[in-house]
Amino acid sequence: MACSIAVMRFKDRREAGRRLAARLADYANRPDVIVLALTCGGVPVAYEIADAIGAPLDVFFVRRLAAPGSEDLAMGAIATGGVSVMNENVVRYLDISNETVDEVTHRERRELERSERLYRGGLPALDLFGRTIILVDDGFAAGSTMRAACVAMRAHRPAQVIVAAPIAGRATCELCNEVIDGIVCAHKTAPDPYHVVTIWYDDLFQTTDDEARELFEQSKRRGIDS
């Protein structure tokens, strides 16, 4: 599934989510659909999508592994379930040692476990078996975070996994296509100019744990009230 092409910038994550939701209308009001956010940046985007298409919202925990000295560059990512995906090209180019990879992975694994405790509050995750999953982030460049999530997702045996992001690089779309069933984007860029998500947003301040958790709680209350 190809991404749609349109030159645009986004005011913030929630506006991006509303724009992206319009491209996901085919999934509206379907009982098999679950929207999953990659915390924390993906939560505001996913919240707007879930609200627009009438789907439950949950979170899927993934941590990017930033390359030492190049924090905007991901050398890989980890996800719930012990999944680890490395960008071997980055590791080789920066000559990152195995010891450094292990150290960063261990640190991010602790943060991932902390996030799970914070968001879940002891409650179980939604059952993903046989469901159509829309996996949402605020954008992806190298794609290692989203790819790790997709690989981990397969262990839950969903019927279908659709990646949705306001902005994505062409090469990343091709990479993720190997492990998912489709990609929906508001904007797809050429491979070379696209390096970081921030250049496509007017406001991309970091989403705090409290802000993301409040949106998650609002979505759960909406589901109960509807």
Q: What Å distances lie between residue 7 and 41, 188, 194, 205, CA to CA?
A: 22, 8, 13, 22
**What pLDDT shows up at residue 189?**
56
* CATH code for the domain in which residue 133 is found: 3.40.50.2020
Domain that holds residue 130: 13-61+126-225
**Token pair 């476990």: residue:** 113
Spatial distance between the Cα atoms of 171 and 194, rounded to a whole number of angstroms: 10
What distance in Å separates the CA atoms of residue 178 and residue 103, rounded to the nearest whole number?
29
Residue with tokens 């990609």: 183
Q: What pTM did the predictor assign?
A: 0.79
**Mean pLDDT of the 152-160 span:** 87
Instruction: Report how many domains make up the chain.
Output: 1
Rounded to the nearest 10°, the torsion over CA 21, 25, 26, 32 is: 60
Residue 41 identity? G
Statement: residue 163 has pLDDT above 50 = yes
* Residue 44 forms part of a structural domain: yes
Structure tokens at 91: 């590791």
pLDDT at res. 84: 83
Residue 174 forms part of a structural domain: yes
9-to-58, 146, 215 alpha-carbon distances in Å: 26, 21, 23
For 139-151, what is each residue's pLDDT tens digit? Answer: 876 666 777 788 8
Mean pLDDT across 61-82? 84
Q: What percent of the chain is predicted at pLDDT more than 70?
A: 85
Give which of 103, 111, 176 is closest to 141, Cα–Cα: 176
Mean pLDDT, the chain, rounded, equals 83
- DSSP code for 135: E
74 contact partners, CB below 8 Å, separation of at least 6 = 64, 65, 66, 67, 87, 90, 141, 142, 144, 145
Query: Is residue 24 included in any domain, yes or no?
Result: yes
* Residue 21 included in any domain: yes
Closest CA to 21 of 131, 190, 134, 126: 134
pLDDT reported for residue 3: 43
* Lowest pLDDT segment from 92-106, 126-140, 146-160: 146-160
**pLDDT value of position 210:** 85
The residue ranking higher by pLDDT, 221 or 21, is 21
